[in-house]
Amino acid sequence: MINLELPEKLTQVQAMAQQLASGVFRPISRKYDAIEHCETPEELKPVAQMMASMGRGPRDKAAPSDEIRNGANMMGIMGVEAMCWGDVGLMLSIPGTGLGNAAVSAVGTAEQKEKYGKLYCAMAITEPGAGSDSAAISTTAQLDGDEWVLNGEKIYCTGGQRCDAVVVWATLDKKLGKAAIKSFIIPRDNPGMSLVRVEDKMGLRVSDTAALSLNDCRIPKDHILGSAEIADSEEARKKAFGGVMQTFDNTRPQVAAMALGLARAALEITREIYEKEGVKASFSKLPYSLSARELELYRLEADLEAARLMTLKAAWMADNGQPNSKEASMCKAKAGRMGNDVTLKCVALCGELGYSERTLLEKLARDSKIIDIFEGTQQIQQLIVARHLLGLSSRELK
């Protein structure tokens, strides 16, 4: 059973991440929002070194199968939420912590995890004709002897310019639809893969978002994530998509955690502004004795807390080996919508202070929008949840 009290090891991670957010991220948040297309911020390089050294440290022994675990997923939620209180874009720009690393961790072999786990891996899924519908991917991967040959175009690849390698989703056979989608790891400087452009964006401006082109890009056969045996039979290919989709069960709660940190930051700034005007929210008061502004703050606080609990549950289930696809989509949908709503409402509640650059509220509102879109849009998450609740397949409910 889930315990709503966080264990000490998680609160320690949370406190360290919060210190990083307040001491490093917040002071440079405006600076890098204005610069946008830049190299990796110098201030983040020591952070990457620190995180790498922590990753090489001693690990907790695995808990017996009958014990409750609070492992890497829950720890990731705590760290991401706290860091995104400081700045989501800067958190995503830390060298060595790309979304592709989650894919390697989810479906890579032991050898691949050892070989690629220490690299900075981006993930390339979206294409001009394939956004939230991953099954519509048209980038192809053909086996030619002992090499894969990939051709296609990828857009909106977070970290695609600065990374060491890219996890690319491609189809082995278009006729098989989503069953033939598989992920491949390609070194960033691999011949045949080129950078087309880096996008100008509304939010997360410091985080590079790239378009990549694959033209007869050749990689060794063992660069397919998971077993290379997947290419040897049609039955094995049909199991490919389920493997790559496991990545989202781990990453969607972490994206939800981004919204949690960002929304918490907006509410804290709003409360500080209100308190200077003599308006201090008190949950001990009855609703009918509150002002409209206080009631709105309460509603936003409640929405944030609901999203937080859903996110913790999804991460806890993953740590304890329980299927969490439905819960991962639920928390991502809830938190993504909540992050948009909270930040925009905080801008409105604070008037000119919210809209101007005198506070971070307008930046938080800009940054919040993409969290509701990437890793699967609000509509896609609701569709996934509906399929689980109704017991229908993707073919039966589109």
Residue found by looking up tokens 């960033």 in the block: 188
Considering 5, 229, 375, 396, which one is annotated as catalytic?
A: 375
Q: Which of 251, 250, 247 is nearest to 92 (CA)?
A: 251
Q: Which of 320, 357, 258 is nearest to 72 (CA)?
A: 320
Residue found by looking up tokens 């202070």 in the block: 353
Give the integer Cα–Cα distance in Å for 203 and 282.
33
With 0-12 CB in 10 A as exposed, 13-18 as middle and 19+ as buried, what is 3? exposed
**Is there a catalytic annotation at residue 375?**
yes
With 0-12 CB in 10 A as exposed, 13-18 as middle and 19+ as buried, what is 59? exposed
- 96 half-sphere exposure, CB direction, 13 A CA radius: 14
Pairing of strands 147-158, 165-171: unpaired
Helix axes 240-276 and 361-371, enclosed angle (nearest 10): 160
Positions annotated as catalytic residues are 375
